[in-house]
Amino acid sequence: MTRTSWLQNRHIVLGVTGGIACYKACELTRELGRRGALVQIVMTEAATAFVSPLTFQALTNQEVRISVLDAKAEAGMSHIELARWADLILIAPCTANTLAQLATGQASDLLTTLWTASECDKAIAPSMNQQMWKHVQTRENLALLIDLGVAVIGPDSGIQACGDIGSGRMTEPMEVVNTLESQLARGPLAHRKVVITAGPTYEPIDPVRYLANRSSGKMGFALAAAASRLGGSVTLISGPAHLETPSGVARIDIETAQEMLVAVENSLDDTDIFIGAAAVCDMRPAKPSTNKLKKSIDNLSTIALTENVDVIQAVANDRRRPTLVIGFAAETDSVLENAKEKLLAKSLDAVIANCVANGDIFGLDNTQVTLIQNDMENPLTPGTKAEVAMEIMTFISKFLSKRI
């Protein structure tokens, strides 16, 4: 399996402004979709003269947003919510006029309003006549935007739609997307592949009943979100969990331990870091019934169990072993001792130990863990699972850089 695209599940506002290169924005929309991005198109009025909003609606299955004063659209997701939703605003094609508005902080339509209202990553693919591109005012506007951290993709040189030859053609859609992937995947885990298991597994007894455990999946999801924010290309293999997929994360849903093993094995190529945060059921009913078992004591008191495979141990022993294999140890007593035993028994690089006495950690938003490697015990600051996950991933990224 190839490396997960950094764009996977990223929320992207694609701004389309009025120039002949609008037609390229259609192919760009498709390519972003192919790489798993969730795309909301925002057009300027001028852009609608070049390509119909219906084209983009068909490509994204989403209504195109044009006006900030659209009461119906605002009632769904207001422009401020949309600004918060976006991980990236990409304006392609970006005309000289829009470029000037962005550089001077104007908020004269929906697109420029979103741009000024959002703290997300920003990128533009300029498209204009070569003379406009060379104009001193355009150069100054561009310098201002670069100074603000905006990624500028292109433009390319060549024959222009107007017949001029020079710089100003919008970069080809495939190249725009490739550049986004390489420029925006920043952080200590940029270009690193991280696979994380999360949640419980359900082991069927019959079509209605199953064996499971109390795991909510929150810690694994928080780790996936943190790894993605640190620039990693993240695959999250999750048992049943009622949680939203973190932005930038490719999610694979499974139910049983056996399905989890298959998904993990299919994802293992080129993986740098594997984290087993799932609470995998150690046992499963040996012969799940295809019919619902009737409530007779004979039926329900003699369910034969068989052992499940140890997923993380299989990863640690795989010939494609990731550079770091990190496990969790959820314990009710002798927490650190038991965690150290698991570190050795499963050939792990580190174990994150947490106390689950009284089941008082499951489903909560706060946690307290100790990171254990060989002889080192490192108690982390207690906090929300999101905060602790970020501390764990920051630690792991430093650990990885020492190993490679």
User: For residues 298 and 222, is the Cβ–Cβ distance under 8 A?
Assistant: no
Nearer to ligand CTP, 112 or 213 (CB): 213
CB 347 to ligand CTP: min, Å: 12
Geometric angle at alpha carbon 119, from 118 and 122, rounded to 5°: 85
Total residues found in the chain within this entry: 404
Helix pair 173-184, 22-34: axis angle to 10 deg: 50
CB 263 to ligand CTP: min, Å: 12
CB 259 to ligand CTP: min, Å: 12
Nearer to ligand CTP, 179 or 347 (CB): 347
The tokens for 94 are 């970006």
Nearer to ligand CTP, 31 or 203 (CB): 203
CB 312 to ligand CTP: min, Å: 4
- Report the C-alpha gap between 177 and 38 in whole angstroms: 14
C-alpha neighbours within 13 Å on the C-beta side of residue 388: 23
Catalytic residue among 94, 162, 281, 355: 162
Least Cα distance to 230 among 195, 273, 187 occurs for: 187
Which residues lie closer than 8 Å to 138 by C-beta, 6 or more apart?
A: 96, 99, 100, 128, 132
Residues that bind ligand CTP (CB under 6 A): 197, 257, 276, 278-280, 282, 308, 310-312, 327-330, 342
Using alpha carbons, list the distances in angstroms from residue 315 to 200, 222, 253, 311: 18, 21, 19, 6
Nearer to ligand CTP, 41 or 312 (CB): 312
- Report the C-alpha gap between 116 and 177 in whole angstroms: 23
Nearer to ligand CTP, 63 or 282 (CB): 282
Least Cα distance to 362 among 336, 337, 340, 332 occurs for: 332
Nearer to ligand CTP, 145 or 268 (CB): 268
Q: What is the DSSP string of 53-96?
A: HHHHHHHHTSPPB--TT-HHHHHHS-HHHHHHH-SEEEEEEE-H
- Report the C-alpha gap between 167 and 160 in whole angstroms: 8
CB 193 to ligand CTP: min, Å: 18
CB 359 to ligand CTP: min, Å: 14
Known catalytic residue at 162: yes
Burial class (CB in 10 A: 0-12, 13-18, 19+), 4: buried
Nearer to ligand CTP, 171 or 201 (CB): 201
CB 344 to ligand CTP: min, Å: 12
Q: What is the DSSP string of 12-41?
A: EEEEE-SSTTHHHHHHHHHHHHHTT-EEEE
Residues with catalytic annotation? 162
